[in-house]
Amino acid sequence: VSVVGFIGGTGPQGRGLGLRFAVAGHEVLLGSRDAAKAEEAVTGLRPQAPDAVLEGVSNEDACARADLVVVTVPYAAQAPTLRGLADAIGGKIVVNCVNNLAFDEQGPHAVAVPDGSAAQECARLLPDARVVSAFSNVSARKLLAVPEPVEVDVLICGDDDDAKTQVAELAAAVPGMRGVDAGPLRLAGAVEDLTAVLLSLNRRYKIHAGIRIDGLER
Ligand SMILES: NC(=O)c1ccc[n+]([C@@H]2O[C@H](COP(=O)([O-])OP(=O)(O)OC[C@H]3O[C@@H](n4cnc5c(N)ncnc54)[C@H](OP(=O)(O)O)[C@@H]3O)[C@@H](O)[C@H]2O)c1
């Protein structure tokens, strides 16, 4: 992967992943509904990545120019946003990081998605794209804390083995991070829902919890 584009790249998750991929040597396009807002986000990241190829653009340009597109919008924004970008995305690899979470007096909880998961909804909305679920468990706080390593395993779900391999390589370029093939896209819902558990752990123990799978070769 050489050019990574983000839809909704101005939030913590898009900025965090974009920063890490840019530091790893990829060209990164942070997309926004407002290109000026994306340029501001890049200006804010610049001190942490002075030599990186990082640009703030519109969501449309991020999709059109990227080799691989990452979706980092809130769940409620996903369907309306992707409908307008399907042509620009075409048959590219799309990495979905979206979680449908809510918070009440008991803390964070997952909200059921009719398609089974946000990633499966994304795949339905982008039938030509090669959709993979990944990074939905990875804390933006950890991602933004360059140069600290991100000591987590990224659970990757998808139905396209080559796309999963490329996303695993993207993850492995971040210090400390490892990408693991967690199965088909239909399992993405379990991974997304796990984020509510991680957020609950964060609240209880004042940490930024991440996943590590034991038994795998380092
Ligand atoms: N934050 C985390 O630690 C974390 C970790 C794992 C996964 N995630 C998931 O990653 C996704 C992004 O998280 P985030 O915390 O970065 O979210 P966020 O800050 O709430 O939103 C990200 C960006 O989405 C765009 N956006 C917001 N509302 C929109 C709308 N109605 N229509 C179109 N675009 C809209 C905005 O960009 P513009 O205004 O520039 O267009 C915004 O900066 C979420 O689905 C979240 O569940 C987050």
Instruction: Say yes or no: CB of residue 86 within 6 Å of ligand 1.
Output: no
Give me the pLDDT at residue 177, please.
Answer: 98
Q: Output the pLDDT for position 217.
A: 81
* DSSP label of 39: H
Which residue's CA is the closest to the ligand 1 atom numbered 20?
Answer: 74
Question: How far apart are the CA of 16 and the centre of ligand 1, in A?
Answer: 11
pTM over cut 0.85: yes
Q: What does the pLDDT look like over 134-160, one tens digit per residue?
A: 999 999 999 999 999 999 999 999 999
Q: Give 12 Cα–ligand 1 centroid separation in angstroms.
A: 7
- Ligand 1 pocket member 11 (CB < 6 A): yes
pLDDT for the residue 7: 99
What's the pLDDT tens digit per position in 51-64? 999 999 999 999 99
Task: Note the pLDDT of residue 1.
Answer: 72
Where the chain has pLDDT below 50, the residues are none
Is 37's C-beta closer than 6 angstroms to any atom of ligand 1?
yes
Q: What is the pLDDT of residue 137?
A: 97
Regarding the beta carbon of 14 and ligand 1, being less than 6 Å apart is answered yes
> Ligand 1 center to residue 72 CA distance, Å?
5
User: What torsion, rounded to 10 degrees, do the Cα atoms 187, 192, 195, 197 define?
Assistant: -50
Distance CA 164, CA 155 (A): 10
